[in-house]
Amino acid sequence: MSGKRTDYISWDEYFMGVATLSGMRSKDPNTQVGACIVSEEHKILSMGYNGFPTGCSDDDFPWAREGEPLENKYFYTTHSELNAILNYRGGSLEGATMYVTLFPCNECAKAIIQAGIKRLVYDSDKYNGTPSTIASRKMLSAAGVDIQKYEHTGRTVTIQL
């Protein structure tokens, strides 16, 4: 055997795969989101998933979607994109790309823009058309962030854990 392998995964498959794996750490029973931030040199800089802040127990804080604001998850969850940005300890994210398994909400869009992230690759767009994602798209576009829908290749990867 002399030539190189040809069936290796692409950069997009690799980074969206890492984002997907990161999302599998989420305890949210309804929507698990993973994010992976990558440098212009294809180096992984940071990762994140949606969950409660450090010190806020996954067993004590609520995962419900409904009910009083203090009794459901929305006031308490840190979104995967923000976690990925905050988890980065290396300095600037200027020019980086974020791979994320769900199109970002308006709050995450603001954090992405302010962090200097210039390219966004997303997978699910299940909240497309809601005020939050409309505002998000509007801000990301105005800020010049290159938004790309991840194109599934159909490749299945099995990892035995």
Ligand X SMILES: O=c1ccn([C@H]2C[C@H](O)[C@@H](COP(=O)(O)O)O2)c(=O)[nH]1
Structure tokens at 52: 């409660």
CB closer to ligand X, 17 vs 51: 51
CB closer to ligand X, 33 vs 140: 33
Single-letter code of the amino acid located at 55: G
Distance CA 102, CA 28 (A): 14
C-alpha dist (Å) from residue 11 to 44, 76, 129, 146: 11, 33, 29, 17
Binding mask 28-67 for ligand X (x = CB under 6 A): x-xx-x----------------x--------------x--
Structure tokens at 142: 């105005």
CB closer to Zn ion, 45 vs 81: 81
Residues that bind Zn ion in the complex, under the rule CB under 5 A: 79, 105, 107-108
Distance CA 36, CA 144 (A): 20
Of 81, 94, 107, 151, the catalytic one is 81
Structure tokens at 155: 């490749």
Bridge partners (DSSP) of residue 99 are 36, 121
Q: From the CB of 139, what's the least distance to Zn ion, in Å?
A: 12
Binding residues for Zn(2+): 79, 105, 108
In the complex, the residues that contact ligand X under the rule CB under 6 A are 28, 30-31, 33, 50, 65, 73, 77, 79-81, 102, 104-105, 108
Q: Which residues are catalytic?
A: 81
